[in-house]
């Protein structure tokens, strides 16, 4: 199946799918590694019978939650229309196929915003519904549904997470003074907003330099969350201090190192129940191979990777062409000399600059939040 509208959509379809997307947003910070999905069941008169969103991994999917809500209210869903932001699944995972559940419930029509990129589904859910005699349609508000799950699409289609690089800087692009002092360049509102983006991610990544200089926690504290992202440190030699705050609960920690570092006493000092030490390949200079890190995180089910690092690691990701999206907070102040957003070396000519497209400009407290993406890569604006 091609992910394009296969039938006309009514004004009612538009309204109800917007409601389903709202429900899907409630799943942010809860469902990883599963996608964020919302579902609304309505009757022929436009009355909503049941709503829901996907729960934590292993829990009920959006369609099941909406059916349960309808049942709790005593509603009969036979012949009803189901609007869901992602194609109902057709495979047995931790839960039974949602397509089969909808067939058993006797619904009359299913409208999906976008097809599931998971090769185990990929059109098979709607095909199963059609085979059961249930009319289906897809493509309504597909762009919004895909954006909500951009990381899931990235992992399914590329085998690696969507990489978002976050920077807080002065108006002249400095992230710290020459001595590394950076607290606080941006406002409290911007820091809270940054935690909301951490909550969205499956993992937050930094380098050993930031750990040793700033001793960050990298957890989600300033906004409510039901799940802490995995905290990842790129630390080839395992120089992370055993007393680092980042190693403390809540949440799990992944220390990525070179294989030879596992044989050092430092490795044993870092062992604890919620900390995993994982070797990956390195280059001739002993630097951790960044594509290998993304492959590892993809295998661990990370959909969105949120990077909060220093100028050198940022520059390495930029230079390797691995950043999908830039999340930049600019403060209304000038620092002059200081540390850059990303140090990746001089360019020979202007045409060598990485082409980006701004996707958002928002005032956050006293600061401005800019968002930009690669103009040509995965997820580039149409």
What is the spatial distance between Cα 328 and Cα 341, in angstroms, rounded to a whole number?
9
Q: At what angle do helices 124-131 and 98-105 cross, to 10 degrees?
A: 20
Q: Give Cα separations from 382 to 158, 202, 328 (angstroms).
A: 19, 26, 22
Six token digits for residue 176: 């710290």
Residues 249 and 269: beta-carbon distance below 8 Å:
no
Residue 152's Cβ-count burial label (10 Å; 0-12, 13-18, 19+) is buried
In the chain, beta strands by DSSP E? 38-42, 48-53, 81-84, 109-112, 136-138, 162-170, 174-176, 203-207, 230-234, 253-257, 275-279, 304-307, 325-331, 339-340, 356-364, 367-374
What is the spatial distance between Cα 48 and Cα 152, in angstroms, rounded to a whole number?
28
Catalytic residue from among 25, 63, 304, 308:
63
- Bridge partners of 110, per DSSP, are 82, 136
Three-state SS letters, 60-126: CCHHHHHHHHHHHCCCCCCCCEEEECCCCCCCCCCCCCHHHHHHHHCCCEEEECCCCCCCCCCCHHH
Nearest to 89 by CA among 130, 131, 118: 118
DSSP structure class, residue 218: -
What is the spatial distance between Cα 256 and Cα 281, in angstroms, rounded to a whole number?
10
Coil, helix or strand at residue 166? strand
63 is a catalytic site residue: yes
Residues 278 and 271: beta-carbon distance below 8 Å:
no
What is the spatial distance between Cα 4 and Cα 261, in angstroms, rounded to a whole number?
50
Catalytic residues: 63
């Amino acid at each position: 199946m091609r992910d394009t509208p296969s039938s006309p959509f009514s004004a009612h379809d538009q309204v109800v799918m917007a409601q389903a997307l709202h429900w899907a947003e409630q799943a942010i910070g809860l469902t990883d590694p599963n996608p964020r999905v919302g579902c609304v069941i309505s009757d022929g008169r436009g009355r909503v019978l049941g709503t829901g969103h996907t729960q934590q991994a292993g829990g009920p999917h959006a369609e099941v939650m909406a059916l349960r809500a309808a049942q709790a209210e005593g509603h009969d869903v036979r012949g009803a229309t189901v609007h869901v932001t992602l194609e109902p699944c057709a495979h047995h995972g931790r839960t039974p196929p949602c397509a089969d559940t909808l067939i058993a419930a006797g619904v009359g029509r299913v409208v999906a915003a976008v097809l599931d990129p998971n090769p185990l589904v990929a059109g098979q859910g709607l095909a199963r519904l059609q085979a059961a005699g249930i009319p289906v349609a897809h493509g309504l508000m597909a762009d919004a549904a895909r954006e909500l799950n951009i990381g899931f699409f990235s992992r399914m289609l590329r085998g690696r997470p969507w990489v978002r690089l976050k920077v807080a800087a002065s108006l002249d692009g400095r992230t710290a003074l020459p001595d590394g002092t950076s607290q606080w360049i941006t406002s409290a509102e911007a820091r809270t907003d940054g935690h909301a983006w951490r909550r969205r991610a499956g993992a937050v990544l930094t380098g050993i330099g930031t750990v040793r200089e700033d001793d960050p926690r990298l957890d989600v504290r300033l906004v409510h969350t039901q799940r802490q992202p995995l905290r990842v440190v790129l630390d080839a030699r395992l120089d992370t201090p055993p007393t680092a705050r980042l190693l403390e609960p809540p949440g799990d920690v992944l220390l990525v190192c070179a294989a030879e570092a596992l044989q050092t006493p430092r490795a044993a000092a870092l062992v604890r129940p919620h900390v995993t030490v994982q070797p990956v390949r390195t280059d001739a200079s002993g630097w951790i191979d960044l594509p290998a890190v993304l492959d590892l995180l993809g295998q661990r089910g990370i959909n969105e990777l949120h990077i909060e690092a220093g100028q050198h690691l940022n520059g390495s990701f930029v230079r390797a062409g691995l950043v999908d999206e830039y999340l930049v907070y600019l403060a209304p102040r000038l620092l002059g000399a200081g540390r850059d957003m990303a140090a990746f070396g001089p360019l020979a000519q202007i045409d060598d600059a990485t082409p980006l497209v701004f996707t958002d400009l928002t005032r956050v407290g006293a600061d401005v939040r800019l968002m930009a993406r690669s103009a040509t890569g995965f997820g580039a604006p149409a």
